[in-house]
Amino acid sequence: MAGHSQFKNIMHRKGRQDAVRSKIFSKLAREITVAAKMGAPDPDMNPRLRLAIQNAKAQSMPKDNIERAISKATGGDAENYDEVRYEGYGPGGVALIVEALTDNRNRSASNVRAAFSKAGGSMGETNSVAFMFDHVGEIVYSPDAGDAETVMEAAIEAGAEDVVSDEEGHVIICAFEDIGDVSSTLEERLGEAQIVRPVWRPQTNTPVDEEKAESVLRLISVLDDDDDVQNVYSNFEVDDAVMAKLSA
């Protein structure tokens, strides 16, 4: 298993459901506010806001929370958030990309650097590991969107580049700049997606043993728990049996 998605599954299975849910809603609300502030507060006129709202709904975020986040963007006391990307290496030479929305760059940089350092890793300069990833669009559908062949056919017609289907659903990959067009075309054929977002997809994975995997997951957990951090991507790969043991 590789990447960040399996860590999310572990995090949810291990409990702290209310705290995790609150943290997710907070991050989603921040993205909605930033999207609404950068463009129009109308999702029909603002593709980024539309995607943010769609992803919030997929996480069962209450309508009142969504509307409050949009209203916050138009208020005079709305915070100004900067989009910042941090990069570095974690245990076992695993590459990580950390995306943040912050109102205090110094605080965020200090927290992220401390997390890397405590885990035995090191934070690098911008683009120090980004070249090892592809910035692409990711569109996720549940299993009931259709069988693998149906989804594959729809994805090809929409202009997607790759599809991975399993018992948990369908993950469709497209070029970053095509995410809006591809997702709109797929929606006409398959309905509304669960998730539509840009992601950093590793070109190659770094295998790690159980000890290093546990350390990497701990680092990702610390980073994910930071209020400023929106997303964490990594290129670690670990044996399925080891991952099952760590998620027990």
pLDDT in tens, 102-159: 999 999 999 999 999 999 999 999 899 999 999 999 999 999 999 999 999 999 999 9
pLDDT, one tens digit per residue, over 191-233 is: 989 999 999 999 999 999 999 999 999 999 999 999 999 999 9
CA distance 213 to 191: 37
Q: Compute the distance between CA of residue 231 and CA of residue 144 in angstroms, rounded to an integer.
A: 27
Tell me the whole-structure pTM to 2 decimals. 0.86
What SS3 class is residue 102?
Answer: strand
Rounded CA separation 224/221 (Å): 5
- Where does the pLDDT of residue 23 fall: very low under 50, low under 70, confident under 90, or very high at 90 and above? confident
The residues, any chain, with a CB within 8 Å of residue 100's CB and separated by 6 or more, are: 83, 84, 85, 86, 108, 112, 226, 228, 229, 230
- The pLDDT assigned to 198 comes to 92
* CATH numbers and ranges of domains, the chain: 5-74 (1.10.10.200), 82-131+204-246 (3.30.70.980), 143-193 (no CATH)
| Burial track 102-129 (b if 16+ CB lie within 10 A, e otherwise) | beeeeebbebbeebbeebebebbeeebb
Separation of first and last alpha carbons in the chain: 15
